[in-house]
Every structure is written in C-alpha cells, then in structure tokens.
Amino acid sequence: MTDHITFDISGVEPEFGAPAADRILSGDPQFRTWNVEEADGGLYSGIWEATPGKWRIVYDEWEYFNVLSGYSIVTNEAGEEFHLRAGDRMIFRPGFKGTWEVVETTRKDYVIRL
C-alpha cells in the first residue's frame, strides 16, 4: 500500500446516481461519482459531477469540496445563496439543509467524513 494517491480518475469506473425522487424540485439531475479513496473511519474522497436540476439537500456528514467546473447555486434554509463556480470551495457541516441547483453541469472534488 502506498502512502499517497492522486485524483487521477482515468482508471476509475464512475458510479451513476440521482437524488431521491422525493427530493427533486426541478429537472432530471443525474450524478456521476468517481470514488478515489475510501479509508477506514468513514473517510471518502473523489470527484462528483451533476447535470442540471434542483433538489433538496440534507447533510448528516462533514464535506469539503472544490468546484472544478460548471455553475451551481446552493441555498441554505435561511435563504442565503452561494453561487459556485470553478475555484469556489465550501464546507458543509452535519445538519446543513437547503437546496442544490445545478445551472450548468458541475464537477467538484470532495472529501467526506462520516
């Protein structure tokens, strides 16, 4: 086992998914996720991509992410909007609730801790 990895997804098969049907507010968002690391203790990292649409989000986990491409608008329960484009970074803490709207197909890298 090596002591490092890179975020090279060229040999990683994507997982396909979508928000739960009861969370979708508009569109038909589809996900592709390339899991690069799944470490002991509930730590995950990789690259996630979503097509346009809007859905409700509820975070039980902690997540850091960096937007690589596209345009999304995340809105918290208080109505505060975060317009996310390439280079924008955020952390969601457990308990974050709101909506995620993908305006232009968005790709991000992420680290999640359960």
Q: Is residue 6 part of a domain?
A: no
Q: Is residue 16 part of a domain?
A: no
Q: Is residue 80 part of a domain?
A: yes
Higher pLDDT, 1 or 78: 78
Q: What is the pLDDT of residue 7?
A: 86
pTM across the whole model: 0.94
Q: What is the pLDDT of residue 21?
A: 97
Residue 96 reports pLDDT greater than 80: yes
Q: Which two tokens stand for residue 86?
A: 């390439």
Q: Is residue 51 part of a domain?
A: yes
DSSP string, 3-57: S------TTPPPEEE---GGGEEEE---EEEEEEEEETTTEEEEEEEE-SEEEEE
CA distances from 54 to 28, 42, 45, 50, 58 (A): 8, 27, 23, 10, 13
CATH number of the domain bearing residue 49: 2.60.120.10
Identify the bridge partners of residue 45 per DSSP, sorted by sequence position: 37, 111
> For residue 83, what pLDDT band results from cuts at 50, 70 and 90?
very high
Q: Is residue 10 part of a domain?
A: no
Residues 4-12 have a mean pLDDT of 89
Q: Which two tokens stand for residue 65?
A: 């992410």
Q: Is residue 39 part of a domain?
A: yes
Parent domain of 47? 21-113
- 54 contacts: CB under 8 Å, gap ≥ 6: 24, 25, 26, 27, 29, 99, 100, 101, 102
Q: Is residue 56 part of a domain?
A: yes
Q: Is residue 89 part of a domain?
A: yes
| Count, residues in the chain | 114
Residue 66 reports pLDDT greater than 90: yes
Q: What is the pLDDT of residue 1?
A: 61
Residue 84 reports pLDDT greater than 90: yes
> For residue 2, what pLDDT band results from cuts at 50, 70 and 90?
confident
Tally of structural domains, the chain? 1
